[in-house]
Structure 1
Amino acid sequence: MSQRHILLTLICGVLIVAISMGIRQAFGIFLRPITLDLNISREAVGFALALQNLLWGAVQPFVGYFADRYGSMRIMIMSGLLYSLGLLLTPFSQNAFTLDLTLGILVGLGLSGVTFAVVLGAVGRNADPAWRSLILGIVTAGGSLGMFIFVPIGQALLSQLEWENTFFLLALFALLMPLLAFGFINDKPQQTIVTTTTGVSLIKALQEAQFHRGFWLLNLGFFVCGFHVAFIAVHLPSYLTDRGLSPVTGAHALALIGFFNILGSYTFGWLGGRYRQKYILSWLYLIRAIIIALFLYLPLTYYSALTFSAAIGFLWLGTVPLTSGLVARIFGTQYFAMLFGIVFFSHQVGSFLGAWLGGYVFELTHSYDMIWLFSIVLAVISAIFHLPIMDKPLTRLQSLSNA
């Protein structure tokens, strides 16, 4: 693939991830309006978003396999259309069950083909290994760019329109993704560029991952990341409002997370190309624990909320280029989208629990304190999990990792 085509896929990949993740990260500002309008609990809305995350992760390895096998463009087009359909139908929800079908199932299925596993696979497998971590960081930063853009847009629209009309407009934005997918028209399935001497069968690749301890440690670590980001993205705006701050503060907080994660994703992608990624991940999770602890300990004000958002935002998705980079380094790029899709499923199981448990615990205790404390414990555990990962490329796949 020529440098021009590689640049085109990078730009289109950044924009697709910006739209898909930006809209998805804005769902938290709709928590209170939806609960009031449909007369359902926060747990019910949290469950719909949790179901979205879980289904997104459950189908991700299969979607990743088809993208690896047949190319990414068709997957992105179909997923983008499904995502837009889910957003379009969500305003017609009348109760928790129909919300689960639209915002939960349809949007969850759509997300699987227009987010990190498929887009990073399409961009990363054509990148020079020396620059791969940085390029993955740039694409990941697209998700944060989208968060920085779409959360304020969503809040501004929500202040002028009903939440239903805001969703209609977001559905129109989502229709840009199938158009941008044509930027990947020259993306070729990996088996067409791998020789038979270096190629590895699907069964062999799965077996190698199954018996690699580092692969499961990455799964456990990414589970924690998913728990953190889903809980904070869904419940932070309501937490701040419950504590006496304005709804605009919640939107500002999420937007600031997005802005600083643009810097963080790029920074951690750059660091991952120069230092051992497992050690950077370990420090990242440890610092997360410290930041959350300080947020709970210090008095809550508008400025402390924004300071927390900036700090946690810098670490928000820095895990993605590092974790995906480790998968590519250890197992090569032939089945990258599928293998990273499996790791990403763990992330989404964590997201399911973060989104749902946040609402469940709040309904039970009328407080989020227990979940905040649990988040600190998980961050420390994850920091420990990454230290023993064996991050050397597997012998059979070493030539693939340099492809």
Structure 2
Amino acid sequence: MSTSRPWWRSPTVIVVAGCLIAIITFGVRTSFGLFTAPLTDLRGWDREAFALAIAIQNLLWGLGQPFAGAVADRYGAGRVLATGGLVYALGVALMAFSTSPGALTVTGGVLVGLGVAGGSFTIVIAAFARLVEPSRRSWAMGLATAAGSMGQFLFAPLGQGFIDAYGAETALILLSCTLLVVPLLARSLTGRGDDVDEPGSEHLSARGALSAAVRHPSYLLLTSGFFVCGFHIAFITTHLPPYLTDQGLSKGLAAWSLSLIGLFNVIGAYSSGILGGRHPRRLLLSGIYLGRGVAFAIFLLMPPTTGSVLLFSALIGLLWLSTVPLTSGLVALMFGTRHVGMLFGVVFLSHQVGAFIGALLGGTIYEASGSYDVMWIICIALSVAAALVHLPIRERSAGALAPSAA
């Protein structure tokens, strides 16, 4: 009896399908900052109302991620990605018909947040951890993260083009249509990949794995550091476009700044995945966060010009999601891949709590002061803190904890 896989389950197709999902799902989400000014002007809201919806979206993405990861661990990533993609598409489409801040919170906040939890690149990364052989795992994780950044590069100008040509409402509907491809691609990522799982990890239950993780100091340090990553990313994607237009720069430049961040992070994330297989991940993470602080300081001190915006976008792009393959790789190293979806989901929850605070606090501080300067200073301080937090992490398997947790 033949045990050969169908063509759509070959390693190459799995990687390609997963990367395409990452491109679409992350690309659509990172274009939301372009809708801050158009939707608030159209509906007569303030920026804090839009920021609240995006903050809720980030929080529910984080809260839903451990559960989506646990389901993917048990039943395979394909079903989770397909369902998440459909909910995500519905939420984006209904954003176009949200005429009150409360409705926007339900559609762009709750529905999109839950949809992204099941249909995002984080589930793709968890799938790669199980479906890709160990020798290529760090590379595949870096590639999936780089693909998400390519989505940001492609969808930022696409989203702005839709807004300019058809208006914000129609642009949201068009973006939602691109998400309908996700369930079709998700078929290739079905299965749990037990054939590449680490020996012995099958003896640890989901509850045991979580219990072991929350008692492991390095896991807790990694989780706290990822909070800062989410804070930075949500603040920039939500508030960088309106910040630039407040400085007298064009909306087109604001869109291209997000696009350029995505383009340079293709380099940063892919390089991070490769370097994570050769060098200590904790030191790489520490350097990335410290580099972000330097980039923020340079941007704050330089006059707002086209050149300074492009330089900042390139610098922060190299450091944007390059934390993801290193962080997810450390989770897999510590606890194996059997429960990697759930355990990385818990780490990602911390990321999204940071994103909730970063998106909301940016709007609150702006409405109170009329400026984002305080937020940039907070970002610099958190960069230094995250750089220090990662230094004590111990890069080795936590297998010794498994017997007591099982």
In the superposition, the TM-score normalised over structure 2's length comes to 0.95
1:73 and 1:184 in contact (8 A); partners too: yes
Distance 2:294 2:146 in 1: 23
RMSD (CA atoms): 1.7
Cα 1:229–1:192, aligned 2, differ >3 Å: closer, same or farther?
Answer: closer
TM-superposed deviation, 1:201 = 1.4
Counterpart among 300, 303, 318 of residue 307 in structure 2: 303
Q: Which residue of 1 aligns with 2:322?
A: 318
Q: Which amino acid aligns with 2:254?
A: G
Q: Quick one: which amino acid aligns to residue 357 of structure 1? A: L
Cα 1:192–1:200 change in 2 (3 A) is: farther
Percent of pairs identical after alignment? 46
The code of the aligned residue for 1:223 comes to: F
CA–CA separation in structure 1 for the residues paired with 2:270 and 2:124:
16
- The alignment status of 1:18 with 2:44, answered yes or no, reads no
Unaligned runs of 5+ in 1: 399-403
Which residue does the alignment assign to 1:104? 109
Residue 130 of structure 1: how far off its partner (Å): 2.6
2:159 maps to what in 1? 154
Contact 2:130–2:192 at 8 Å: present in 1 too?
no
Aligned to 2:207: 203
Alignment of 1:120 with 2:147, yes or no, is no
2:132, 2:196 within 8 Å by CA — same for their partners in 1? no
- Counting only pairs closer than 5 Å after superposition, residues 228-239 of structure 1 correspond to structure 2 as 228-239=232-243
- The separation in 2 between residues aligned to 1:194 and 1:379, in whole angstroms, is 34
In structure 2, the residue matched to 1:381 is 385
TM-fit CA distance, 1:189? 5.8
The residue number in structure 1 matching 2:295 is 291
Counterpart AA for 1:115: S
| Number of the residue aligned with 1:225 | 229
Task: Rate the CA distance shift 1:396–1:189 in 2: closer, same or farther, 3 A.
Answer: farther
Residue of structure 2 equivalent to 1:279 = 283
Report if aligned partners of 1:70, 1:189 keep a CA contact under 8 Å in 2: no
Aligned 8 A contact 2:33 2:238 in 1: yes
CA distance in 1: counterparts of 2:201 and 2:50, whole angstroms:
51
User: Displacement, 1:129?
Assistant: 2.3
TM-score (norm 1): 0.95
Aligned counterpart for 1:141 among listed residues 125, 143, 146: 146
Alpha-carbon contact 2:48-2:360 (below 8 Å) kept: yes
Q: Partner of 1:388: helix, strand, or coil?
A: coil
Q: Which residue of structure 2 lines up, in the alignment, with residue 363 of structure 1?
A: 367
Query: Where do 1:339-350 residues align within 5 Å?
Result: 339-350=343-354
Amino acid paired to 1:384:
L
Partner SS state of residue 203, structure 2: coil
Give 1:172's aligned residue. Answer: 177
CA contact (8 A) 2:197 2:336 kept: no
Deviations 1:43-80 (A, max 9, x none): 11001001000001001101100100011111111111
Return the alpha-carbon distance in structure 2 between the equivalents of residues 362 and 219 of structure 1: 28
**In the alignment, structure 1 residue 212 sits paired with structure 2 residue 216:** yes
Q: Does 1:331 align with 2:335?
A: yes
2:60 maps to 1:55 = yes
Matched length: 397
